[in-house]
Amino acid sequence: MTTHDLQIKNARILRNGELVGCDVFVSSGKISSIGVVQTDRASRSIDAAGRILLPGLIDPHVHFRDPGATYKEDFLTGSRGAVVGGTTTVFDMPNTKPSVTSTETLLEKARSVKTKAVCNFGLIAGASHENISSMMDLAKSGAIAFKTFMISPPVDREKDYAGMSVTDSGQLLQTMEGVARTGLVHCIHAECDSTVSMLTEKMKLENRKDPRAHYDSRPNFTEEEAVSDAIILASQVRSKLHIVHVSTKQAIDLISGAKKKGVNVSCETCPQYLLFTNEILDKRGPYGKFNPPPRTVEDRDSLVNSLASREIDMVATDHAPHTNSEKQLGFGDIFMAPSGTPGVETRLPILLTFVHQGKLLLNDIPRISSSAVAKRFGIYPRKGTIEIGSDADLAIVDIDQAWKIRSSELQTKSWETDLYDGMEVKGRVKFTIVNGEIAYEDGSGFASPGHAEFIRPQ
C-alpha cells in the first residue's frame, strides 16, 4: 500500500474532451497517481465533491511592479490574486526598477520576489540591440523568455523600459538574431512607434484630450503594421516569435497566414479585449486606457472566435495595475494617465462565463490558459497538464457557482481601478494547489510564501 502526501478525491478531470471522475494523489510535489485507487492512502485529503480539477493556470504576461513601484503592486499581493484565480505560475515582465536586462538584475529579482510569492514565477528578460552580448547568459541564468517593445516608452518612464524598447527595424533585426541564438521565445509588443507618435502629436495639436483620443492615436493599422514587420523579420532569423496582447482582426489574419507559411509565431489576447470595445473609454475614461486600446465590436468578436478556432494560442492578462490617483490624471488629459489595468485574479471566471454563454467549450479552458502556454515556453509536461510525474499545480473549480466580482474584495493594491466591478460571472476557484501545497482555499485564505519556485525552461 502506497502512502501519498495529498489525495484529491471525487474530482472530475478532462480526458479526451470528456469529464472523468477520479482521485488524484500527490507525493513530493508531483502527481503520483490518477484513478480510483482504493488501497492508497494520503497524509491529507481534499474532497473535490464532484468539482472540476484543472491543471494550474499559467499567466504568461503580468506586471507585478516588484522591485520598484511596489506601492501599486508587489509579488505578495500579485501572486495572491493569481492563486485566487487558479493561476499557479506567472511570467513577470522585465520593465521593473531596475529593468531586467542583465544576469545580475535577473537573479537579484528572483531572490527578492521568491520571499513574497505564493505561486510559481518565471522571469522574462528585456531584449534590445543594447544587450545582445548578455542574452546567452540571461538564458543560462533562467530567463523564461525575452521581451521587446516596438514602441517608445512614456516620457516619464523611460528608465523602466531601458534596454527593451526598439523602434528601428535594423536594430530589431539584430535583437531578434540575438534572441534566436538562445532558443527562447521572443515576446513582442507590436505597435508602430513612428505612426503612433505622429498621430499622438496630431491629437495634441488638435487639443484632443478626451479619452477617445487615446484610441484615435493608436488605430488598428498601427498594430497591423508592427505585427507585419515583426513577422517578416522573425521569419528571416527563424526566431520563436510571440505577439503579446493581440487586439485586432487584422493582426489575427497576419499571424494565421504566417503560421500557414511555416513561420514560428504564436500569440495571446487578454480578457479586456474579449469583453470591451472602445466604448469603455467613453464610460470609464482613463480606467479604460490600456495599450493597445480596446477596439471595435468586429475585433472583439473576431478575437473570441479565433480562440475557439485555435488561431489565437492563449489568453494572458497583461495585469498592469496603477493607482487610482495616477489614473485620475487622465480625466483632464487622457495622455496624462498611465496605460494598464488589473486582471490576474479574474481571468478564469471570465473564461468560464464564456463557456456558459456558448462562446467557448470547457475543453478550451485548460488549453488556452495552461497547456498552450507551457508548451510554447518550454515547461511542458512539467507544467500545464494533469499527468503522473507532472508538478502538482492544480485548481479545483466549481464551474457552476454564480457570483459578482467586487473590486474591493480583489487582492490587488490597485483595486479601485479594476474594470470588472459588478460583473456577474459563473465559475469560482475553491482550492489552488502549488507544488503539492494548498496555496489558497476559498473562505480560508492563503498559505505563507515559501513554496513557490523560480521556473526555468526545461
Classify 240 as helix, strand or coil.
strand
Q: How does residue 269 score in pLDDT terms, banded at 50, 70 and 90?
A: very high
Residues 279-321 pLDDT 10s: 999 999 999 999 999 999 999 999 999 999 999 999 999 999 9
AA identity, residue 289:
K
Write the CATH number for 349: 3.20.20.140
Which cell is 246 given?
493581440
Choose among 236, 239, 237, 314: nearest CA to 274.
Answer: 314
Is the per-residue pLDDT at 328 higher than 90?
yes
Supply the DSSP symbol for 447: P
What strands lie across the sheet with 57-62, from one edge to the other? 57-62, 87-92, 120-126, 145-149, 185-189, 240-243, 265-269, 314-315
Nearest to 157 by CA among 322, 331, 284: 322
Mean pLDDT, residues 153-172 taken together: 80
Please give the model's pTM, rounded to 2 decimal places: 0.97
Question: 217-266: per-residue pLDDT in tens?
Answer: 999 999 999 999 999 999 999 999 999 999 999 999 999 999 999 999 99
pLDDT at 155 over 70: no
d(CA 230, CA 235): 8
Q: Is residue 385 part of a domain?
A: no
pLDDT band at 158 (very low <50, low <70, confident <90, very high): low
The reply to whether 418 falls in a domain is no
Tell me, yes or no, whether 227 lies in a domain.
yes
The H-assigned helical ranges of 341-450 are 347-356, 364-366, 372-376
Retrieve residue 374's grid coordinates: 507551457
Taking alpha carbons only, the member of 401, 403, 406, 399 closest to residue 420 is 406
CA–CA gap between residue 355 and residue 365 (Å, rounded): 9
Residue 187 lies in a domain: yes
| 269: β partners | 315
Q: Residue 52's pLDDT band (boundaries 50, 70, 90)?
A: very high
451 domain residue, yes or no: no
How many other C-beta atoms can be found within 10 angstroms of the C-beta atom of residue 296? 16
Q: Is the pLDDT of residue 159 over 80?
A: no
CA 370 to chain centre: 10
Contacts of 38 (CB under 8 A, 6+ apart): none
Whether residue 435 lies inside any domain: the answer is no
Q: Give the model confidence (pLDDT) of 404-440 as tens digits.
A: 999 999 999 999 999 999 999 999 999 999 999 999 9
- Beta-strand runs (E) in 164-294: 185-189, 240-243, 265-269
Q: Is 273 helix (H, G, I), strand (E, B) or coil?
A: helix
- With CA atoms as reference, report the closest residue to 177 among 228, 99, 61, 169: 169
Instruction: Give the 3-state secondary structure of 125-162.
Output: EECCCCCHHHHHHHHHCCCCEEEEECCCCCHHHHHHHC
Pairing of strands 3-15, 18-27: antiparallel
Instruction: Tell whether 191 is covered by a domain.
Output: yes
58-105 pLDDT tens trace? 999 999 999 999 999 999 999 999 999 999 999 999 999 999 999 999
Count of domains forming the chain? 1
Residue 320 belongs to a domain: yes
* Percentage helix, strand, coil for the chain under 3-state DSSP, each rounded to 5: 35, 25, 40
Tell me, what's the pLDDT at 48?
97
Amino acid, res. 411 = Q
**Cβ–Cβ under 8 Å, residues 215 and 255:** no
Domain span at residue 227 reads 56-376
Per-residue CA distances from 46 to 50, 111, 328, 433, 446 (Å): 11, 32, 45, 11, 16
